[in-house]
A and B are shown apart, each in its own frame.
Chain A
Amino acid sequence: MKYIDEYRKKDLILGVSEEIKKISKKEISLMEVCGGHTMAIHRFGLHFLLPPNIHLLSGPGCPVCVSGQHFIDTAIAYSRLPGSIITTYGDLIRVPGSASSLEKEKAGGQDIRIVYSVLESLEIAVKNPGKNVIFLGIGFETTAPLTAAAIEEALKRNIRNFSVLSSHKVMPPVMKALVRDGVKINGFIAPGHVTAITGTGIYKDLTESFGLGVVVSGFEPVDMMQSILMLVAQFEAGKPRVEVQYQRVVREEGNPVAQKLLNKVFELKDDRWRGLGLIPLSGLKIRPGLSSFDAEKMFPLEVPVASEPKGCICGLILRGLKTPLECRLFQKKCTPSDPVGACMVSAEGTCATYYKYRS
C-alpha cells in the first residue's frame, strides 16, 4: 500500500537504528503519548533496536483507557432509558463498568449499535423518529471534530432526536500534567493524527516552559525510529524544540476546517482522567447554545462515581510509572477475553499491547 509499505522497509529501520546508536550518549526517557505508537513499537519490536540508554514510556493516549468508569456507567444508564438507542464505536463495547458492560447490556436486550462513522447515528435517528439516539463521543482532537461535524449536520437537517454523551478530551493539558506530576520525561513522541488537526502550536509551552523536546510522529516503524532519532539529536545538542517527522500529513497550521467546527460545537471543561484525576480544561463539552444535542442536558441522570477495579494499576500505567508486567492480575485474572481494566480492552491499551506482543 502506498504510504505504508515504504515505511516498513527493514533496511531503512536498521539504518536509522544504527544512526541512533551512533549519536545517543546520555540516558534519555521518551514518552510515546499515543496508544497507536505503543502498538507500533511492540508490534515491530522497535525497542529491541534501541541502545539501553534510551527508555520508552507509554502514555495516556488511549481514549478508551482514560475515559474512566463513570463514563461507561453513565452510558449503561442511558441504554436502560426507555426509548433510547445507543450508538458507539466498537472500542467501548467491552469496557467493564462497575457492574456491567455495554456488551452485556446489549445481550440483555438494550438497543446498542456499533457504528463505524458517527454519521450513521444520524441515519438511525431519521429511521427511528420515536426514539432518542445517543452517541458515545470518545476520542481526542482527531476524533472530536467528527462528532462536531455530525452535530452540525443534525442542526442543518433538523434532526432533533440525536444527542451526544461527550467524553472527548484534548491532549496538551494531560501532557503538561504528567510533567508537573514528576514523571521523568525528556521528550515526547507526539501524536501524529491529533496534530494533523490541531497544528503544532499546541506544543509550544512544552518546549518553552518545560524545556522538553517534541517530535510529531507518524505510525509506521520507520516513522517511529526517525522520530526517536530526531528527539535524541535534539537532546544530545541540548536544543529541545517542536519538530514534525510526519511531514506528509501534518501541517504547521493543522486542519482549519476541523478546528473551526470543533470550536463552534465544543468548549473546554475540567475533566476526569483515569489514574490522573481531574485535569483543568482537558475535556470538551457541547456549547450551551447547542444543548439540545447534549445528552447530559437532555437526560440528566445521577450516576454515582465508581471506584476503579481492585488490583488494577491501569492508572499508573497511563502515566508511564508502571508497566503491565508489574500488575499482579496481568495475564492471570486479566486477559483480552476477560478484561479487568480498560487498559486491557482497547487494542491500543498498553496492557492489551503487552499481552499480544510480549507473551
Chain B
Amino acid sequence: MCLAIPAKVIRVDGASALVMIEDTEYNASLLLLDDIKAGDYVMLHAGFAIQKVDEEEAIETMRLLIEVEKHNPE
C-alpha cells in the first residue's frame, strides 16, 4: 500500500507531470509537491508524486555503504 517507486520526470504540465519508470510512461499528479522540473526524480505513489529524490543525499548514502563494504571484504 505504501509502495512508492522512483520515476523520472519527463515533462511538467501544470499540476501534473509525465514520468517514466523503466520504459513505461505514467501520469503523476503534482498536487502534493511544488517546484518539480523535467529531469527530477520523484517517488510515485498511487498516481501522485509524494516526494522528490535528493541526488546528493543518495550519493552520500552510497559513499557510506561503500565504506562499510571496504571494511568487510569477503
Q: Pick from A68-76, A102-110, A115-123, A333-341 the stretch touching chain B.
A: A115-123
Given the known A-B contacts A15-B68, A15-B69, are A36 and B50 also in contact in the complex, defined by CB atoms under 8 Å?
no
Given the known A-B contacts A116-B46, A118-B46, are A91 and B1 also in contact in the complex, defined by CB atoms under 8 Å?
yes
Query: Are A153's CB and B53's CB within 8 A?
Result: no
Query: Are A248's CB and B65's CB within 8 A?
Result: no
Query: Are B51's CB and A255's CB within 8 A?
Result: yes
Choose one: A16, A116, A219, A257; the contact of B32 (CB below 8 Å): A257
Residue of B nearest to A255 (CB): B51
- Which B3-46 residues have a C-beta within 8 angstroms of A? 3-6, 8, 21-22, 29, 31-34, 41, 43, 45-46
Query: Are B32's CB and A146's CB within 8 A?
Result: yes
Write the A79-109 contact mask toward B (1 if CB under 8 angstroms, else 0).
0000000000101000000000000000000
Contacts of A248 on B, CB cut-off 8 Å? 53-55, 57-58, 61
Contacts of A6 on B, CB cut-off 8 Å? 62
Query: Are A257's CB and B34's CB within 8 A?
Result: yes
- Which A34-80 residues have a C-beta within 8 angstroms of B? 34-36, 61-64
Query: Are B65's CB and A16's CB within 8 A?
Result: yes
Query: Are A143's CB and B2's CB within 8 A?
Result: yes
Query: Are B48's CB and A149's CB within 8 A?
Result: yes
Contacts of A11 on B, CB cut-off 8 Å? 69, 74
- Which A107-141 residues have a C-beta within 8 angstroms of B? 116-120, 138-140
Query: Are B50's CB and A197's CB within 8 A?
Result: yes
Chain B: minimal CB distance from A193 (Å): 5
Query: Are B21's CB and A1's CB within 8 A?
Result: yes
Residues of A within 8 A of B (CB): 1-4, 6, 11-12, 14-16, 18-19, 22, 34-36, 61-64, 89, 91, 116-120, 138-140, 142-143, 145-146, 149, 152-153, 191, 193-194, 196-197, 219, 222, 226, 229, 245, 247-251, 255, 257-258, 261, 346, 348
| A-B CB contact pairs (8 Å), 14 listed | A12-B66, A15-B70, A35-B2, A91-B1, A117-B29, A138-B1, A145-B32, A193-B2, A197-B51, A226-B64, A247-B60, A248-B54, A251-B51, A257-B34
